Amino acid sequence: MKSWYQMSVEETVSEFESESSKGLSSAEASRRLVQYGYNELQEKKPEGFWQKLLNQFKNFLVLILLAASVISLLVGESADALVIIAIVILNAALGVFQESKAEKALAALKRMSAATSKLIRDGNLVVVPSRELVQGDMVVLEAGDYVPADVRILESFNLKIEEASLTGESVPVDKNSQELSQITPLAEQNNMAFMGTIVTYGRGKGIVVATAMQTEIGKIAGMLQSVEQEPTPLQIKLEEFGKTLGLLCIGVCAVVFAMGIYGGYSDGILSLSEIQHMLMISISLAVAAIPEGLPAVVAIVLAFGMQRMARKNSIMKKLHAVETLGSVSVICTDKTGTLTQNQMTVVKVFTASDLFTVSGHGYNPEGEFIAGEKPVKIDTKQELDLLLRASLLCNDAELKSLDDQIWSIVGDPTEGALVVAAAKGGYIKEAVTSLAPRLQEIPFDSGRKMMTTFHYTAEKIRAFSKGAPDILLSRCTHIIEKGTVRSLTEIDKQAVRAANQEMASQALRVLAVAYRDFEQVPDISSPGEVEKDLVMIGLVGMIDPPRSEAKAAVQVCLQAGIRTIMITGDHPTTALAIAKDLGIATKDQPVITGQALDTMPLEQLQQQVRTSSVFARVSPEHKLAIISALQNNGYITAMTGDGVNDAPALKKADIGVAMGITGTDVAKATADMVITDDNFATIVSAVEEGRVIYANIRKFVYFLLSCNASEVLTIFIAMLLGWPIPLLPTQLLWVNLVTDGFPALALGMEKKEPNVMRLKPRDPSEPLLAGNMQVLTGIQSLVMSITVLCAFQYGLTANNGNLDSARTFAFIMLMATQIICAYAARSEHYSAFQLGFFSNRYLNMGVGLSFFLLVLSVYSPLQEIFRTVQPVLNDWLVIGALAPIPFITAELTKFVRRCFK
């Protein structure tokens, strides 16, 4: 029995058709041939040593607390014991819920970043998620694509695939459609393309014979165990924060316990019950203070923020990218499709005898060719007729009608513009290609800057070439004028160059079109020997107008202290015209070309990138050099790219940004983020969202630290003053559950602040809570603890030393101050009154729920559990007067900072 890789195309198609003949649709039948889908490897969360230690220590403390509760239960103190057990269970349930939400959110993000594949279904070229591939699908492979499944090659045009990930062979392998007649080693199966390998050259088609875990790479993946990931910079900072806070809290709690034992609290004689009480207090304080839920909440904040970015066409593939986005100081961007609309439209056509203006807009194939002021008939202009046919044949794009008014291009936008122009002249691609079928091709590459296809026309072989005008002109020896081919003179060359310069000065992208006749299809192994002695047909000028939102986005970058640098392969004049229109470059700013970069010393390049904003006619190698020079100057760079050769620059950049529409699979896999609409404004929006996410994490951490520190300080200061302990273990645990849960998590959903894109990029080396935030945290926690102690002392005085009443005041005050201070934590710059108290509905819901639980703890059967008494009206007036003090202090601190800023 033949193995699957020996199966002939006929057998595969036969099996596919036999399933389809059962009355199912072709798609449904193909899905029944194989159960597709990846078994995702379970990723272990990067968790640092200190975070593990603290979590384990907290678990240990929880066990001690539960054991102490059981002892209390046995000696008859059932109320406290049952309450502590219930709160511990609630805390654990909340932790499990947070972990589950984080896992689900991150899983959703993984699904968003799924790769796509180009297929031919029902005769149409379509793009589908790679996970939907099934046996029998016809896959189109092009340079830069990852092979999405194991594919039997049917057609091959100079197809080369790099299979190092599978076979270890570093040299790309030539692929063809020849059937193998015997068992062949994996590395020698030249008629197969294997999943996970990379198309480096040419193009081809093939039929899917295995997907997912049935592929060769899938079989290897099935044998792998999960891989431990390295922690991201943000996780390292969180671990450092957790270590510092946790150890500090543990130390203070140990001191609290020691002070309680030393003090005696009973005329110098310490009873067993008092020791047990101090132990419960200390352990409860430690359990409440250690931020074991911080990683889960941060994961939720990150995941929801990343989902918001995904809804704005930015898919973050790597966690550290979110943090780095807030530090970006330079965005290096391509021009075509990113700063412009990516709907190239031919507006000028130059031939030796005429200059034509082309009407119409976008991809709509309605328009006319105008010479002077009058429309012309194509059949009366031989060079125009030849140019349109040539540009249509030397072309891989297709024009699709989505409905009667909406047209789209499948393929490269530049090639699409030529298809649309030909359609305006009455040429339909299917009809033209049927009369001149393609026999061979030399695909476009960035080194040659041209593409050539070979066709059978009128009993001869004709090669059509298109590419950069300066490159093609150097390869031409003849020109066609009014149907006659003659030698290309210096005057002709000057006329072509002048037309090219004139179009480029109008921000047009210009392509030259030429041809050459052969008696037979030549050997294309040496393109330079084939693509010479060409006959110049003419030039095509097309415009890709700037996106209306790009200009505004560039201005936002300027306000945010972010430079925008255009790096493009286009003509320098075209690049500068677009850059000036968008505000990237000034009129007198020079354009640095790839040719200049080739001879520029490293020191000069590092100096040049500080002031230059436009780089034109550059290769992917130049992009890498520019990124390195910027980084050497201390810039945090974001770099856009779409091609295979852009991968090194994307990897080198601090944030690699791949284009979702025009980007190759290699670029998308290498990048840190993918923008699905290829829009520069989306990159700026992602930078803004990255700043918002990081700011929200800081707000949550600040609030958490202030609340936990105030609890510790309240107990610690009371003992230093020789007062009774203001809070019971059950009260401490309940406060921690109520305030650290709902309001804190809601801070992670905070909307962006008005000044988020008017601040300078953040220094990546700064701690999670920078100096000002540390000061604010210290002030806030100290004022909260003092306010709680004042309420406690008032309760003692007003109720003749009744400890339960005093503790009720402290309990209510601690919860109230923390809940109210959540509003102050919404911004470290703006007042809560400026932001508005109703702009974060999640916070309002969390605060409302927390206040409801506060009221329940004093006006319900829970009163017995928490040993609270019901305050009277005068008591509530005092509470109402004291509770806002920490909030007012935080607002005044921000006001003073704004005044002296």
423-471, pLDDT tens digit by residue?
A: 999 999 999 999 999 999 998 877 788 999 999 987 789 999 999 999 9
- Longest C-alpha distance within the chain, in Å? 119
Give the 3-state secondary structure of residue 153.
strand
Bridge partner list, 456: 461
Q: Which residue has the higher pLDDT, 464 or 894?
A: 464
C-alpha angle 632-638-643 in degrees, rounded to nearest 5 = 110
Q: What is the CA radius of gyration of the chain?
A: 35
Q: Where in the chain is the domain with CATH 3.40.50.1000?
A: 328-339+547-678
pLDDT at 509 over 50: yes
Domain 4-39+117-222 has CATH 2.70.150.10: yes
> Of 800, 803, 773, 799, whose CA–CA distance to 874 is shortest?
799
Per-residue confidence band for 242, with pLDDT thresholds at 50, 70 and 90: low
Share of the chain above pLDDT 70, in %: 77
> Of 735, 753, 757, 756, whose CA–CA distance to 744 is shortest?
735
Calpha distance 679→549 (Å, rounded): 9
Are 544 and 343 a contacting pair, CB within 8 Å?
yes
When the pLDDT of each residue in the chain is averaged and rounded to a whole number, the result is 79
Are 122 and 137 a contacting pair, CB within 8 Å?
no
Specify the CATH number for 345-543; select among 3.40.50.280, 3.40.50.150, 3.40.50.300, 3.40.1110.10.
3.40.1110.10
- State the number of CA atoms in the 13 A half-sphere of 472 facing the CB: 30
**Annotation marks residue 334 as catalytic:** yes
pLDDT at position 617 is 85
Kindly report, residue by residue over 551-585, the tens digit of the pLDDT: 899 999 999 999 999 998 877 877 888 898 899 98
CATH number listed for the domain at residues 231-309+687-899: 1.20.1110.10
Kindly report, residue by residue over 743-771, the tens digit of the pLDDT: 877 888 888 888 888 888 887 777 777 76
CA 1 remoteness from chain centre: 47
Candidate list 334, 396, 642, 672, residue with the active-site label: 334
Kindly report, residue by residue over 267-323, the tens digit of the pLDDT: 455 566 666 667 667 766 666 666 555 666 676 777 777 778 878 888 887 766 777
* Structure-token pair, residue 381: 């202009």
Residue 403: C-alpha distances to residues 21, 235, 364, 407 (Å): 31, 49, 11, 7
- State the number of CA atoms in the 13 A half-sphere of 778 facing the CB: 7
What CATH homologous superfamily does 328-339+547-678 map to? HAD superfamily/HAD-like (3.40.50.1000)
Kindly report, residue by residue over 84-101, the tens digit of the pLDDT: 555 455 555 545 554 454
What is the average pLDDT across 48-53?
45
Residue type, 607: Q
Residue 632: C-alpha distances to residues 301, 326, 332, 590, 625 (Å): 33, 19, 15, 22, 11
Q: Where in the chain is the domain with CATH 3.40.1110.10?
A: 345-543
Calpha distance 471→500 (Å, rounded): 12
Q: Name every residue whose Cβ is closer than 8 Å to that of residue 654 and which is 6 or more positions away in sequence.
A: 324, 327, 328, 631, 636, 637, 638
Least confident piece of the model among 15-24, 370-379, 517-526, 852-861: 15-24
What is the average pLDDT across 217-221?
64
* Helices and strands, counts by H and E, the chain: 33, 28
What is the average pLDDT across 812-823?
93
* Structure-token pair, residue 700: 């949550």
Least confident piece of the model among 165-169, 718-722, 728-732: 165-169
C-alpha angle 422-143-182 in degrees, rounded to nearest 5 = 120
DSSP for 90-129, please give it: HHHHHHHHHHHHHHHHHHHHHHHT--EEEEEETTEEEEEE
Give the 3-state secondary structure of residue 246.
helix
pLDDT at position 226 is 37
Q: Name every residue whose Cβ is closer than 8 Å to that of residue 778 and which is 6 or more positions away in sequence.
A: none
Other beta carbons within 10 angstroms of residue 10's beta carbon come to: 9
pLDDT at position 792 is 94
Calpha distance 784→806 (Å, rounded): 16
Residue type, 573: T
